[in-house]
Amino acid sequence: MERMSTLDAGFYFVEHENVPMHIGSLAVFDGPAPGYEDLLALYAARLPKVPRYRQVVRTLPLQVFRPFWSDDQHFDLRYHLRHTAVPPPGGPEQLMTMAARIISLRLDRARPLWEAWFLEGIEGGRWGIISKVHHCMVDGIGGSDLMAELFAPEAEPPAPASDRVSPESPPWRPEPGPSVAEMVGGGLIDAARWPVRQLSALPGFVRPRLGTPAELLRFGLGLTGSARRLATQSASSLNGPIGPHRRWRWITADLAEVRQIRNSLGVTINDVILAATTSGFRDLLDARGELADGVVVRSLVPVSVRGNAGGGPDGGGQGGDGRQVSNNISAVLVNLPVSVPDPRTRLELLHDQMNDLKSTKQAVGAELLTELLGFAAPTLLALGSRAAFRIPQPLVQTITTNVPGPRFPLFLLGRQMVAAYPYVPIGNGLRIGTAIFSYLDRFSFGVTADYDSVPDADLDVLTAGIQRGLAELGRESPGDALERK
């Protein structure tokens, strides 16, 4: 009986009717579109490599034990792989409207927590797939890894469905689910062993991250800097109640342009992305008449810790080839200096801020907090997670996550993927979030917004501001790197 990690359980517990907690993407392909049955056969052939996609979450009343995964006794692939068409003429406006409606729908918690929507009718003879996966199953980096199960790096001609799934292949047989007695017994054993495992694993968690007195001292000093940043006045007007529906908008940027900015100004690609996002929020607040001196937009910036160690003491599922498919992420809080008028100064402030967060290993703090939450009873974890996401808070205004994708083309059933647009969920009280995904020579900025409180006009200003911010930085003189303080 495989139980959820603390972080995975947190993502599962915080979901409610106005906060769907799935991540997602839209992949667009060159035509012609495949047949639905061919696509169904491909999914059926790949599912054995990702067993989690045929499992459901099981809990007991009051969350007295950690949730666990169990095979879906009534799994139906046709329910999860759906088929529809974009209304004519299938242009960006029609595609974004349909994609936003599909991505807003909560996943059925009584079934495996994923869906894929096969879209036909995109202009230019193209077609697409909208993928939705609950955050308790996988983070953005893990989601990119799972794509490899469906995609091929070469344009091999698609084999007939009969060749991909042989009629002689034995059908999948779900493992019988545990009885109530087994669930209670297993939960009692886990409840007794879990704190002991967490406690014994803490030294192994801390030592690789803060193994020397100097690292521990830098981390402590970094906490002081982080506290000062949290005391900075933030644009709390971006916080507020949200509804169940979403707007989803995307724009693209040239990877070569971003790299040129990085090289000429001596910063990182992530610095450039954050600076462009800062420009977008500056324009939005200015358009609303809410831009004030000294104000910041505080962003949660997820950080992958997937390379630190395997599953760690917190558990975590694996794919059929042993790869991790649960969440392995931490996060830092970054002040986006929206009140600063000069784009280059904004970039320098972000560069220095990110350097401080990295050198003092502030992401370890959030990671350690997650580990310590593992000592809490599941009921307390559930109540705490829900309270944290339902109580209004002015601390964080947005989320900005950057997921690197492949620089080589990917193919599905012989058709090349020409674009991929990411979707990030927003928590209660956060009305806007931005996900960035790189593929081939392009960056895609996917902006998620609450439908009720963020009109299309606001999204127009925000996305245009992101593009303007990149253009401004691109006009900086080549080779003129930022001065080091």
The contacts of residue 217 (CB under 8 Å, 6+ apart) are none
What are 119's strand-pairing partners? Answer: 84, 128
HEC sequence for the chain: CEECCHHHHHHHHHCECCECCEEEEEEEECCCCCCHHHHHHHHHHHHHHCHHHHEEEECCHHHCCCCEEEECCCCCHHHHEEEEECCCCCCHHHHHHHHHHHHHCCCCCCCCCEEEEEEEEEHHHEEEEEEEEECCCCCHHHHHHHHCCCCECCCCCCCCHHHHCCCCCCCCCCCCCCCHHHHHHHHHHHHHHHHHHHHHHHHHHHHHHCCCHHHHHHHHHHHHHHHHHHCCCECHHHECCCCCCEEEEEEEEEHHHHHHHHHHHCCCHHHHHHHHHHHHHHHHHHHCCCCCCCCEEEEEEEEECCCCCCCCCCCCCECCCCCECCCCEEEEEEEECCCCCCHHHHHHHHHHHHHHHHHCCCHHHHHHHHHHHCCCCHHHHHHHHHHHHHCCCCCCCEEEEEECCCCCCCEECCEEEEEEEEECCCCCCECEEEEEEEECCEEEEEEEEECCCCCHHHHHHHHHHHHHHHHHHHCCCCCCCCCCC
- For residues 132 and 115, is the Cβ–Cβ distance under 8 A? yes
Tokens linked to 270: 């992530």
Judge whether 135 counts as a catalytic residue: yes
- Marked catalytic residue, from 22, 80, 134, 135: 135
What are 58's strand-pairing partners? Answer: 68
- For residues 61 and 50, is the Cβ–Cβ distance under 8 A? no
Closest C-alpha among 458, 268, 287 to residue 276: 268
- For residues 52 and 325, is the Cβ–Cβ distance under 8 A? yes
Tokens linked to 30: 């060159």
Closest C-alpha among 80, 81, 118, 112 to residue 99: 118
The set of catalytic residues is 135
